Structure 1
Amino acid sequence: MELGAAHWMYLAGIVVIIAVMIMRKNIVIPAVAATFLTAWAFTGNLITGLQSIFGASLTAAAELFNIFLIIALVTALLGSLRALGADQRMIEPFRAIMRNGHASYWVIAGVTYVISLFFWPTPAVPLIGAILLPVAIRAGLPPLGAALAIAIAGQGMALSSDYVMQVAPGLSAKAAGTSAGLVADRALVLSLIVGVIALVLAYVTTRRTITAPSLDSLLAWEGGSATPTAIAGGSVAGAAAVAPAVAPAVATVAVADQIAADRGAEPPGSPGPPSPAGASDVPGPAASHGAGEAAGPVSEAAGGTGLPGLARRAKAFAVVVPLTFAGLVAYMLLGKFTDLIPETIGGQAAALVGGVAAVLLLLATVVTDGRRSLETCATHVVDGLVFAVKAMGVVLPIAGFFFIGSDTFAGKIMGLEEGAKAPNFLFDLVNAAQSGIPHNSFVIAFAILVIGVITGLDGSGFAGLPLTGSLSGALGPTTGMDPATLAAIGQMGCVWSGGGVLIAWSSLMAVAGFARVPVLDLARKAFVPVVVGLVAATLAGVIIF
C-alpha cells in the first residue's frame, strides 16, 4: 500500500527513540508523543490521537499484565524467604568448596546464575556480596574477578534468557507476533553461548591476578581497619568495623566465621562454648524479621539460644525452595523433549512458575508468622507488585507505541470501528524499503543485534525489547529468517547492554559497589569477552536456527 503521513510519523518516532536512547535518556516522552502524532495523522482526529495515548498504554498493560504478576509473586516469595532467613541459608553451603580463587570464581558464577534465573539478579547481588564475596576474596580471587563473575552470570547470562520467569521473552515475542516459548528456548541457547564464552575469557584474563589464600587480601579489600586477632577472638564489633559498608549485616558474621576458622578459634555463630562479648547480640531471623532486614540466620549462636525452631524451618525452606524450582524446570523440559507429560507451552510456563511461587509464599509466611501470616502475606504481595511496577511500569507507554505499529493492536488502540481495516505501519514501511534491505540473514541478524545494543544504552535492558521484537517480526519474513530467532538475538543485545554488563550507568554499579571496584574498570574488563560472545552467539543463531 502507499505510505501516508501516519507511516512517516511512525518511522520518525522510531528514529527519534533510537536517537534518544543513544543519548542515554529516557524514551517515555518520545514514545507518547509519537503515539499521539501517529494516531492523529492516521485518523485526522485530534481527540482520537489523545485517546490513543491512553489506549496504547492500556492495551500494553492488558497484554503484559501476566509479566507484572509473575514478577510480583516471585518477589513476594523472596521477601518471605528473607524474613525467614532462608534466602542466605540457600547459598551458605557453597562457602565450603571455595578453597582457592579459581574455584571461587566458578562457584560465584554458578550460584549467581541459578539465583538470578529464578529471582532475577537484583536479590542475587546483595546475597552473593554478603556471604560469598568476602570468602572468595580471602581465598585469593581479586575483587574485579569476582565482580566479573557476578555481572556476566547474573545480569548477563541469566537475565538475557530469563528462561524461568520469561518476562523478556514475553515482551520480545508479543512485539514479534511469535511464541514466547520459542523465543525463550532460543534465547536460552544464545545466552549460554555468550555467557560461557564471556566467563571463560574473563577467567583467562583474571587468573594471572589470582593469589594464594590470604587473610591479608581480605583485610586489604576491607581497608585494614581491624586486626586479625580482634576478629578471630570473636568480637562482632571488630568484624563490623571491616565489613563492607554496602553489604547486609550477615557479611559481618560470614567474615568473622571464616577468619575465626582460619585462626583455629570458634566462630561466633557456632554452637558450643559461649562466644566472647558481643556474639550473642548478632541478629538472627527473629530480629531481621522484625526490622525487615536481610540479616543472616544465626539464631543458634551463643550456645543455641534464640529461636532454634525458626532456624530449623529456615534450613528446611532453604532446601525445599531450590528443589521445587529445579523440579519445575525438569517438569517443563520433560514435557518439551518427551511424550511422558503434556508440553508446557506459551503462557503456561509463566503461570506454572507463578502458581508455585504463590504456594511457597503462603507456606513460608505461615511458618514464619503464624497468626500474623494473613497480614504479612498480603504485605509481601503488595511489595512485589510495587517492585513490578517500578521495574516494568516504564515499558508500558514504550510498548504501546510499538504495538500501534501492528495491525493486531492498532485498531483497538485507536478505537477503529468493528470490521475496519487496521493499519500495519511497520510492516508497510519494511515492504516499501524491501528493495534496499539486504536479503542476507547474517546482515539482518547483526543489524538487529546492534539495534538491541543501542537500545540498551539507556541502562534498561527491557525498554528496547518492543523495538527489536517489532523489527524481528517485520524483517524475518523478508529475509527468510524465523522472527523468533531474530527476536532472541535482539534480546541478547538489549539485555547484555542495558541489563548491567556493557555499560557503567546500569545495574553494573551495584555489582561494582559490593565488590568495591571502579565501575568503569569493570565495564571495560567485561567489554571484550561479552562482545566476542555476542558475535559468536549471533553467528550460531543464524546457522543453527
Structure 2
Amino acid sequence: MHDLTTAHWVYLIGVLVILGTMLARKNIVVPAVFFTFLTALTFKESLTGALAGVFNASLVAAQELFSIFLIIALVTGMLGSLQALGADTKMVAPFRPVMRNGHLAFWTLAAVTYLISLFFWPTPAVPLIGAVLIPVAIAAGLRPMAVAFTVAVAGQGMALSSDFVIRVAPGLSATAAGVDPDKVANRAMVLSLIVGITALVIGYVLEIRRMRQPSHQWLEEWESGDVEAKVLAMTEVDDPPTIGHGPALREEAAALVAAQSGRGGADGIGAGGTATATHEPDSASEWERPSLSGRPGSGDEGPVNKAPAWASTVFAVAVPLAYLALIIYLIYSISSSGTDSGLKGGDAAALVGGIAAITIFLAAFAENRSTFLERSAEHVVDGLVFAFKAMGVVLPIAGFFFIGNGDFAGRILSIAPNEDGTTSAPAFLFDLVLHGQEHIPQNSFVTAFGILIIGMIAGLEGSGFSGLPLTGSLAGTLGHVTGVDPETLAAIGQMGNIWSGGGTLVAWSSLIAVAGFARVPVLDLARRCFIPVVTGLVLATIVAVLVM
C-alpha cells in the first residue's frame, strides 16, 4: 500500500465526478479522459507524460478488452452470413414454442443464461446466448434492453458472483480471509440467489407494460439496428419510463419515427408514432430483410444469393448443434480434468469465436462461390465495425479506471517494474480503499455494508475479481470483533466485487459483451441494472447479517 499523494486525491475526485455524471445520464468519456490526464499530470509532474498517459490508458484498455471486441465481431459477422442465407429465422424457429411471448422469453432467457454461466462462466455463455436465444427473445416481444438486462443479471451477476462450480472467486475470498472455501462458496451461492432473484423480479415488473405482442417484425427491426427508438415510440405509457430512458430520449425517438413515417406500413408505426397492427410479411416485396451492417439488403443492389434451397436449413440446424457440442465438450473437459485444469473462461470463448469464424466462411461459400472470398471478408469487417462502433466509447472510460489498478498503472504511466517483476506503480483506487477501511466502525451492520461498499468500489476497475483479496482480508480481520462470521463477510464482499465489476454495474467490464450482442448502449444498460441490483445487494446483506 502506497501513502496517499495529491494524485490519489485527484483520482478520487475523478471517480466521484464520473459517478455523478453517470447518475445524471450524461456521457462520461470527456470526464474520464480529463481526469486521466489530470491524474497522470499530477503524478508525473510532466505535460508530455500526462499526454502520453491519456493515449496509453486507452491503449492498455484496448489490449485488455480486445478479446471481447473480437468475439462480438465474429458472432455478429456470423449472424450476418446466416442472415444472407435466410438461415437466421429458421435457426430460432424451434425455440418459439417455449418462448411464446415476452414473459416466457424473460424467464427462459434468465434460466438458460444462469445455468450455462454457472458451469462455464459468462465469457462463453454470452456469445452462445447471443447467437441462439437473443433473436428468439426479440421475436417473442422482449425489448433489446430487457434482453440485455436479463442476460447480465442472470449470467454476469447471479452465476458469476457465486462461482459455485468453478470456485475461483470463493477460493480467493477464503484464502485472504483464512477460512474454509466451501463455507464461503455455500454462503455466496445463497446471497447470489437473493440478489439475482430480487433484481430479476424488479426488472420484470418494470418491463411488464413494455412487452410487445410476438412478431417476426421485431427481429427484423432489431437486425436493422434502430429498434430501441422504435420501441420507445411504440410503448408509450402513462407512468415514468424505465431506468435509462428519459423524456429527452422519447422526444428523439418520436422525431426519428416521424422522419421514417414513409416506412410506417412496414414498420408497424404510423406517421403519428403510434403502433399499428402487426403481421407477418407475405412476400419479399412486402418486407425486405435489412442488413446487419447497413449494407444493401435484398431489395437493393448487392451480392446475389446463389445458395441451394437446402443450404439455409442445413446452417440453421448445424450452428445450434455446433454450439451444443461445445457445451458437451466443456462439461466433459471439466468433469475429466477438474475445475482447475478443465477448459473454461477465455479458452471456451475462443472456441465460440472459432466456430463463428468458420461458419462465416462456410456460409459465404454456400451463398455464392464466385464471391466467396469477398463476402467472407465483408462479414468479418462488418462485425468489427459494429463492435467498435457500438463499444469503442468504453475504451477511454476503462483507461481511467485501469490507471487505478496497480497491475495496469505502470504501463499507462510508463513506470518500469521492480527487478523481481512486481509492479512499482501506485494503485490509486486500492490505496484509497485500504486507507478508508480503517474508519469502519465495529458494528455488525456497519461492517457488513462497509465491506459491501468497499467491494463495489474495488469492482470499479472492471474485473470483479481483483478486489476479492482485499474484501477477504477485511472479512478475516473484522469478523471476529463484530460478531459476524468471517465467511459471511467474505461472501458479502464477493457480492460487492463481482456484481459491480463482473458485469452489471460497470459499463467498462464484460457488460460490453452483453450490450454488444443485444445491440443496446452499454451505459444505458449499466443504468438499467443499477436500482434492481443495488436493491438486491442491500437485501442480501441484511439477510446475511440477521440469518447467517
Query: What TM-score do you get using the length of structure 2 for normalisation?
Result: 0.60
Q: 1:9 — aligned with what?
A: 10
| Aligned mates of 2:292, 2:25 — CA distance in 1 | 38
> Does the CA-based 8 Å contact 2:134-2:518 persist in structure 1?
no
Pair 1:307–1:73, CA change in 2 (3 A): closer
Are positions 1:84 and 2:94 aligned together? no
The CA deviation at 1:12 is 1.9
Q: 1:435 — aligned with what?
A: 438
Q: 1:395 — aligned with what?
A: 394
Gaps of 5+ in 2: 114-124, 161-168, 176-186, 215-232, 236-263, 271-275, 477-489
CA-to-partner distance for each residue in 1:201-252, whole Å, 9 max, x for gaps? 7879999999x99xxxxxxx999xxxxxxxxxxxxxxxx9486349xxxxx9
| Aligned mates of 1:204, 1:5 — CA distance in 2 | 46
Are positions 1:410 and 2:409 aligned together? yes
What does 1:17-36 correspond to in 2, within 5 Å?
17-36=18-37
Q: 2:358 — aligned with what?
A: 359
Amino acid at match of 2:323: F
Are positions 1:478 and 2:438 aligned together? no
Where 2:431 maps in the other structure, the secondary structure is: helix
| Aligned mates of 1:241, 1:154 — CA distance in 2 | 32
What does 1:436-515 correspond to in 2, within 5 Å?
436-437=439-440, 442-444=448-450, 446-447=452-453, 466=462, 474-480=470-476, 481=490, 485-491=495-501, 494-495=504-505
| Aligned mates of 2:429, 2:455 — CA distance in 1 | 18
Pair 1:387–1:44, CA change in 2 (3 A): same
| Aligned mates of 1:433, 1:477 — CA distance in 2 | 14
What does 1:373-392 correspond to in 2, within 5 Å?
373-392=372-391
| Aligned mates of 1:287, 1:497 — CA distance in 2 | 27
> Does the CA-based 8 Å contact 1:5-1:42 persist in structure 2?
yes
> Does the CA-based 8 Å contact 1:77-1:358 persist in structure 2?
yes
> Does the CA-based 8 Å contact 1:445-1:489 persist in structure 2?
no
| Aligned mates of 1:293, 1:189 — CA distance in 2 | 49
CA-to-partner distance for each residue in 1:434-491, whole Å, 9 max, x for gaps? 3113676742464268769xx9xxxxxxxx6639666656544333437765432214
Higher mean C-alpha deviation, range 475-484 or range 410-419? 475-484
| Aligned mates of 1:437, 1:292 — CA distance in 2 | 60
The CA deviation at 1:364 is 1.6
CA-to-partner distance for each residue in 1:253-295, whole Å, 9 max, x for gaps? 99348xxxxxxxxxx5xxxxxxxxxx57456889999974499
Amino acid at match of 1:25: K
Amino acid at match of 2:150: A
Pair 1:496–1:417, CA change in 2 (3 A): closer
> Does the CA-based 8 Å contact 2:156-2:502 persist in structure 1?
no
| Aligned mates of 2:311, 2:190 — CA distance in 1 | 37
CA-to-partner distance for each residue in 1:108-140, whole Å, 9 max, x for gaps? 6436886993367699777644x433xxxxxxx
> Does the CA-based 8 Å contact 2:84-2:305 persist in structure 1?
no
| Aligned mates of 1:66, 1:544 — CA distance in 2 | 41
| Aligned mates of 1:507, 1:339 — CA distance in 2 | 31
Are positions 1:118 and 2:115 aligned together? no
Amino acid at match of 1:244: G
Q: 2:150 — aligned with what?
A: 153
The CA deviation at 1:343 is 0.8
Pair 1:76–1:363, CA change in 2 (3 A): same
| Aligned mates of 1:155, 1:351 — CA distance in 2 | 20
Pair 1:444–1:349, CA change in 2 (3 A): farther
Number of aligned pairs? 430
| Aligned mates of 1:112, 1:345 — CA distance in 2 | 21
Pair 1:394–1:331, CA change in 2 (3 A): same
Pair 1:408–1:282, CA change in 2 (3 A): same
Q: 1:181 — aligned with what?
A: none
From 315, 318, 322, give the equivalent of 2:316: 318
Larger Rg: 1
> Does the CA-based 8 Å contact 1:52-1:414 persist in structure 2?
yes
Where 1:433 maps in the other structure, the secondary structure is: helix
> Does the CA-based 8 Å contact 1:448-1:472 persist in structure 2?
no
| Aligned mates of 2:56, 2:500 — CA distance in 1 | 27
Where 1:2 maps in the other structure, the secondary structure is: coil
Could you say what the CA RMSD is over the residues aligned between the two structures, in angstroms? 5.6
Pair 1:333–1:108, CA change in 2 (3 A): same
Q: 2:279 — aligned with what?
A: 255
Where 1:422 maps in the other structure, the secondary structure is: coil
> Does the CA-based 8 Å contact 1:60-1:397 persist in structure 2?
yes
| Aligned mates of 2:544, 2:382 — CA distance in 1 | 38
Amino acid at match of 1:397: P
Higher mean C-alpha deviation, range 58-67 or range 487-496? 487-496
| Aligned mates of 1:543, 1:336 — CA distance in 2 | 36
Pair 1:27–1:308, CA change in 2 (3 A): closer
The CA deviation at 1:349 is 2.2
Q: 2:327 — aligned with what?
A: 329
| Aligned mates of 1:10, 1:325 — CA distance in 2 | 44
What does 1:201-350 correspond to in 2, within 5 Å?
241=265, 244-245=268-269, 255-256=279-280, 279=283, 281=285, 292-293=296-297, 310-339=308-337, 343-350=342-349
Where 1:347 maps in the other structure, the secondary structure is: helix
The CA deviation at 1:200 is 6.3
